[in-house]
Amino acid sequence: MKGVDIVRSTVLALVMIAAAGPMVSSVDAQTEGAEAVAIVVHPEVTIDGLSFDQLKSIFLAEQQHWPDRSRITLLVRAAIAPERDLILSEIYGMTEDRYRQYWISKMFRSEVASGPKIVFSTDMLRDLVTVIPGSIGFVPVSEVGPDLKVIPIDGMLPGDEGYPLN
């Protein structure tokens, strides 16, 4: 095929893609309307607080073990939950699509054995975080009950001024 034909084909194909352009994929992170979220851990996790960098490191799976070497299990709400959007925005800095690609990529690179466990409701998360050793998750602050171990971030709790997940 001659070079000029290739250039012509390229231009034609670009025009076709541009014509199909306004098709969009998935959902953008929407954090409006989300209330502050609390970071909760299994009651036997032996930490009393995390820095925001440590929290990011855990949710990005750069840190996969607690200081006692027990494995961390991430619990993440399914898509559409407002608190998930807040986490994607404030911790991951990613859209929903990019978040999925991030975890697929992590597994592809053999950096993690699995992605986060998907949790379909706050009640389910509350149940799981109290029974799965080493688990960590997040819940809207209004859903925090006395059975949950809430972890301060940078020494602050939800509602405190400067708390990073308000």
Partner 1 sequence: MQRAQVMRGSWLGILVAVLAPAVGLAGQVPDDSNIRAMGFGDFNYLVTERDLKEGFRMGQMVGHVIADLDERFTFFGEVSLTGKDNGYSIEVERALIRYDFADEFKIAVGRFHTPIGYWNAAFHHGSWLQTSVARPEMIKFGSRFIPTHFVGVIAEGGLPGSSLGLGYKVGIGNGRAENIARAGDAGDINDHRAWVARVRSRPIAIVGLEIGATFYTDQLLAPDLTDTRERIYSVHAALDRDAPEILAEYAHVTHDPMTGSGSFPGSDGYYVQIGYRMSGAFRSIKPYARVEQVIVPNGDEVFEPLNLNYDGVVAGIRYDPGVFLALRLEYRWERFEGLGAFNSLYTQASFVLSGF
- If phi > 0 it is left, if psi is from -120 to 50 it is alpha, else beta; for residue 155 that is left
Alpha-carbon torsion angle 136, 139, 145, 149, nearest 10: 20
Using rule CB under 8 A, residue 110 touches partner 1: yes
Verify binding: residue 98, partner 1, rule CB under 8 A: yes
Site for partner 1 in 17-56 (CB under 8 A): 17, 20-26, 28, 53-54, 56
**Does residue number 131 form part of the binding site for partner 1 (CB under 8 A)?**
no
Amino acid identity of residue 11, one-letter, is V
Query: Minimum Å distance from CB 121 to partner 1?
Result: 14
Phi and psi, residue 74, nearest 5°: -85, 130
Q: How far is CA 66 from CA 31, 58, 82, 89, in A?
A: 29, 9, 27, 24
In the complex, minimum distance from the CB of residue 141 to partner 1, in angstroms, rounded to a whole number: 24
29, 37, 103, 149: residue in contact with partner 1 (rule CB under 8 A)? 103
Among 1, 32, 131, 162, binds partner 1 (CB under 8 A): 1
The residues, ordered by sequence, that sit 6+ positions from 35 with a Cβ below 8 Å of its Cβ are 82, 83, 140, 141, 142
How far lies 103's CA from each of 53, 61, 78, 113, 115, in Å?
19, 9, 14, 10, 6
104 is a contact residue toward partner 1 (CB under 8 A): yes
- Applying CB under 8 A, the span of 13-21, 35-43, 135-143, 155-163 interacting with partner 1 comes to 13-21
Q: Which residues bind partner 1 (CB under 8 A)?
A: 1-3, 5-7, 9-10, 13-14, 17, 20-26, 28, 53-54, 56-58, 60, 62-65, 69, 71, 92-98, 100-101, 103-105, 107-110, 113-115, 117-118
